[in-house]
């Protein structure tokens, strides 16, 4: 159902609907018996706050377990600064209930709402507020369903009883800069670890991270539009500077406290923690240069650790979602680069080969391992560009569950599968159970005002995955060649060419303004092979720009592209790529819009930056070779630089340094500062007008009437 408003436009609809995610079901959990599926979904754009829902698999009936409007008595939601920061790190832009956690039996769900703690009985829907210190962060129930552990912005880790009998301090506070039970900035932003406490399977203790960020250098994010407000202080570990010191402790509910010991000097990054009934706790720790990492088994009685696995790589080692974990039989499940392929390992055995490029482990269900994969090197061109599938591995081997699947969860023999189709808006969520008819969980998301029509290709000798979008109603005999807009992300961990509809909507909108739009996933992007991802090592600017050029020229042999009018736009890494392209290849790219670009890599964070360029004190040449500021004197094409002044991820200093260098070199350029905007642009007016201003700038730059 479309809730079109008077004078609605696609840019406004896109912003108002939170990129068409408002009203779409998400965050699925299957109870251990497979009888119920829990999920989040709002009632639609007019009521955007997420509710917690339950689907009865046997009957297909959906019920509301928790409604924020009811629980808050109609009051407005209030977020602490710490919660806002957590959401910024996870790119969470929705409202209401944005996360929840279940006990081991699937009987009780807990969640934070407006900094307060709530619990709901899954079978009855009885919801209640629990005694807790507020505001709180990241509540998680013990597996036995008796307690809830949670963190506070003041650095405490606390526990309260699910029967409402009381709340008490487990660790902290220790003063400014020290926190318990929370993930540090680097873990959240770059490692994919957004939590800092983990329950023991018996519910008698927690593993808790202790983070001391006092060694981290302080930066200040000011709001120039409001000079009466003091700047916000943040601990930002820029490349080559100290990180937070992260330890791990076992905290018993009886007051016992045991430090988990490993060589922090050799492996300072705590990347993963896993503790299940399958065996003793596992932790994954990583060297600062990310060329070595260990999987360690923890002895809970002493805190000593034993090395189960040592991994090394001459470039770097990736961290993967969902691993390492133990199956119920105790076998270690992980993802590894093996013989040039990225494979699923169960115990000592590689259970996939070069036909699949394993992306993540989605969950375990008994002996079944649920995982996502794209095409490996042996299968790459036999599937559509941007293809992704979901598979299981168990006693029967590897089995495909869903073609074009975006994700899945599984429990008790019930699978929730999320799929997409480039020919249809949105996603489809299907509940599958042996012997039963499939169920579809409804979406209340808006239908876009336009339809994306991506054409997928493998371009050039390197067979670069691409999506090409032409204007709606384009007639080559009438309209002739089209000006080109390259619209990439183009870097690590950012796949844009996907077999889905909605991710291509903005590109289609740009196409409908009179461009042939090309989205190209060159080397360095995920989903192809380890060699593809790691070929950018120390050469990001050179390699990723070259692949945009090659894709453009290869596609010009088939599509009506005017190579005399080529622009490029992007945000974040895409902004860096756009700036690098127009500076390095001005004969190819005639205009660029660089949004929130990383222009000087010594201004970006340690874990990401040092992976690709090393320590700036040891390898300064890598930083110089990949800087766009150093190329400022070469600018001879129109360039618009866009940056949110409140961005605490890619701080505005990046764009200011580039602008300063351009001014010093006498190179005209445009700077668009976004007051009060972070690395995301969720504000409706900002998101809409930002698209409109980019189009006008590009048309003016390319001489398009």
> What is each CA distance from 288 to 185, 204, 261, 316, 606, in whole angstroms?
15, 33, 17, 10, 9
Q: What is the mean pLDDT of the chain?
A: 94
Q: In 3D, which of 414, 462, 410, 463 has the Cα closest to residue 438? A: 414
Global pTM?
0.94
Check whether 687 has a pLDDT greater than 90.
Answer: no
Contacts of 405 (CB under 8 A, 6+ apart): 372, 388, 389, 390, 417, 418, 419
Return left, alpha or beta for 169; rule: phi > 0 is left, psi -120 to 50 is alpha, else beta: beta
Residues 481, 454: Cα–Cα separation, whole Å:
18
Is there a contact between 489 and 539 (Cβ–Cβ < 8 Å)? no
* 652, β-bridge pairs: none
pLDDT at 83: 83
Over 80: is that where the pLDDT of 653 sits? yes
Instruction: Name 193's Cβ contacts closer than 8 Å, sequence gap at least 6.
Output: 183, 187, 270, 271, 272, 273
Cβ-proximal residues to 66 (8 Å cutoff; 6+ apart), any chain = 51, 52, 97, 109, 111, 118, 120, 127
Q: What is the pLDDT of residues 579-611, one digit of tens each?
A: 999 999 999 999 999 999 999 999 999 999 999
Element (H, E) at 203: none
pLDDT band at 682 (very low <50, low <70, confident <90, very high): low
Over residues 229-243, the pLDDT tens digits come to: 999 999 999 999 999
Are 578 and 490 within 8 A, CB to CB?
Answer: no
* Residue 522: band (very low, low, confident or very high) from pLDDT cuts 50, 70, 90: very high
- Mind listing the pLDDT tens digit for each residue in 92-114? 777 899 999 999 999 999 999 99
Task: Name the token pair of 68.
Answer: 């924020």
Q: How far apart are the first and last CA of the chain?
A: 36
DSSP states of 355-373:
TEEEEEEEEEETTEEEEEE
3-state secondary structure at position 232:
strand
> Mean of the pLDDT values across residues 318-346?
95
Greater confidence (328 vs 467) lies with: 467
DSSP 3-state of 174:
coil
Q: Of the candidates 494, 626, 490, which has an alpha carbon nearest to the alpha carbon of residue 548?
A: 490
Question: Residue 250 forms beta bridges with which residues?
Answer: 207, 258
Segment (H or E) for 664: helix 653-664
- Region of poorest pLDDT, from 420-424, 438-442, 674-678: 674-678
Q: What is the mean pLDDT of residues 276-284?
A: 93
pLDDT score at 402:
77
Residue 7 reports pLDDT greater than 50:
yes
Summarize the confidence of residues 59-84 as an average pLDDT: 88
User: How far apart are the C-alpha atoms of 525 and 494, rounded to whole Å?
Assistant: 6
- The string of DSSP codes covering 324-355 is SEE-TTS-EEEEEEETTEEEEEETTEE---TT
The pLDDT tens digits for 8-37 are 789 889 988 988 999 999 999 999 999 999
- Widest CA span of the chain, in angstroms? 79
- The answer to whether the beta carbons of residues 408 and 418 sit under 8 Å apart is yes
Model pLDDT for residues 192-223, shown as the tens digit of each residue: 999 999 999 999 999 999 999 999 999 999 98
pLDDT value of residue 79: 80
pLDDT at 1: 45
Model confidence pLDDT, tens digit, residues 385-404: 999 999 999 988 999 987 77
Within 8 A by CB and 6+ apart from 150, the residues are 112, 117, 132, 136, 137, 138, 139, 140, 157, 158, 159, 160, 181
What topology is assigned to 455-702 in CATH? Rossmann fold (3.40.50)
Tell me: pLDDT of 4 over 60. Answer: no
Q: Where in the chain is the domain with CATH 3.40.50.1820?
A: 455-702
**DSSP strands (E only) in 213-256:** 218-221, 232-235, 245-252
């Amino acid at each position: 159902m479309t809730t079109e408003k008077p004078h609605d436009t696609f840019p406004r609809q896109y912003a108002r609907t939170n990129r068409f995610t408002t009203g779409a079901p998400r965050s699925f959990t299957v109870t251990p018996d497979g009888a119920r599926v829990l999920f989040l979904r709002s009632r639609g754009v007019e009521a955007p706050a997420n509710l917690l829902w339950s689907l009865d698999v046997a009957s297909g009936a959906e019920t509301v377990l928790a409604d924020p409007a009811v629980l808050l008595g109609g009051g407005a939601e209030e977020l602490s600064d710490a919660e806002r920061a957590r959401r910024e790190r996870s790119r969470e832009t929705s409202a209401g209930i944005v996360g929840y956690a279940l006990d081991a039996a699937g009987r009780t769900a807990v969640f934070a709402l407006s900094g307060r703690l709530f619990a709901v009985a899954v079978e009855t829907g009885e919801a209640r507020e629990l005694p807790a210190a507020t505001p709180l962060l990241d509540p998680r129930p013990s597996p036995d369903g008796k307690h809830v552990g949670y963190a506070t912005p003041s650095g405490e880790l606390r526990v309260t009883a699910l029967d409402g009998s009381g709340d008490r301090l487990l660790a902290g506070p220790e003063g400014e800069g020290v926190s318990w039970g929370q993930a540090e900035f680097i873990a959240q932003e770059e490692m994919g670890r957004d939590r800092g406490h983990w329950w023991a399977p018996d519910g008698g203790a927690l593993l808790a991270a202790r983070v001391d960020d006092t060694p981290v250098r302080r930066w200040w994010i000011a709001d120039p539009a409001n000079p009466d407000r003091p700047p916000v202080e943040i601990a930002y570990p820029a490349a080559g500077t100290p990180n937070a010191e992260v330890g791990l402790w076992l905290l018993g509910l009886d007051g016992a406290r045991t430090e988990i010991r490993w060589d922090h000097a050799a492996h300072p990054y705590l990347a993963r923690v896993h503790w299940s009934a399958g065996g003793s706790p596992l932790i994954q720790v990583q060297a600062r240069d990310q060329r070595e990492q260990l999987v360690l088994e923890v002895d809970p009685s002493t805190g000593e650790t034993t090395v189960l696995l040592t991994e090394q790589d001459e470039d770097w080692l990736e961290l993967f979602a969902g691993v390492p974990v133990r199956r119920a039989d105790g076998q270690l499940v992980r993802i590894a680069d093996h013989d040039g392929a990225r494979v699923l390992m169960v115990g000592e055995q590689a259970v996939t080969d070069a036909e699949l490029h394993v992306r993540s482990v989605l969950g375990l269900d008994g002996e079944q391992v649920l995982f996502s994969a794209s095409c490996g090197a042996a299968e790459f061109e036999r599937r559509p560009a941007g293809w992704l599938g979901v598979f299981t591995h168990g006693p029967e081997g590897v089995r495909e569950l869903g073609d074009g699947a975006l994700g899945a969860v599984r429990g008790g023999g019930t699978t929730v599968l999320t799929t997409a189709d480039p020919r249809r808006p949105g996603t489809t969520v299907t509940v599958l159970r042996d012997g039963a008819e499939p169920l579809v969980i409804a979406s209340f998301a808006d239908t876009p005002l336009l339809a994306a029509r991506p054409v997928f290709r493998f371009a050039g000798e390197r067979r670069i995955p691409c999506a090409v979008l032409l204007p709606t109603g384009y007639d080559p005999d009438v309209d002739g060649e089209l000006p080109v807009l390259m619209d990439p992300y183009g870097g690590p961990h950012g796949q844009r060419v996907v077999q889905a509809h909605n991710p291509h909507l903005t590109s289609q909108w740009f196409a409908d303004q009179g461009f042939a739009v090309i989205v190209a996933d060159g080397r360095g992007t995920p989903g192809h092979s380890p060699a593809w991802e790691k070929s950018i090592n120390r050469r990001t600017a050179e390699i990723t720009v070259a692949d945009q050029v090659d894709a453009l020229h290869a596609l010009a042999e088939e599509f009506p592209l005017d190579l005399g009018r080529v622009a490029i736009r992007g945000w974040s890494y895409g902004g860096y790529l756009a700036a690098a392209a127009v500076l390095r290849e001005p004969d190819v790219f005639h205009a660029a819009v660089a949004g929130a670009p990383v222009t000087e890599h010594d201004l970006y964070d340690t874990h990401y930056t040092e992976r690709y360029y090393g320590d700036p004190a040891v390898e300064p040449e890598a930083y110089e070779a990949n800087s766009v500021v150093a190329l400022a004197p070469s600018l001879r094409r129109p360039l618009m630089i866009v940056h949110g002044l409140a961005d605490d991820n890619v701080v505005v200093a990046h764009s200011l340094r580039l602008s300063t260098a351009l001014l010093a070199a006498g190179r005209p350029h445009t700077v668009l500062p976004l007051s009060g905007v972070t690395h995301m642009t969720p504000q409706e007016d900002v998101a809409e007008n930002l698209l409109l201003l980019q189009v006008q700038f590009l048309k003016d730059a390319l001489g398009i009437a």
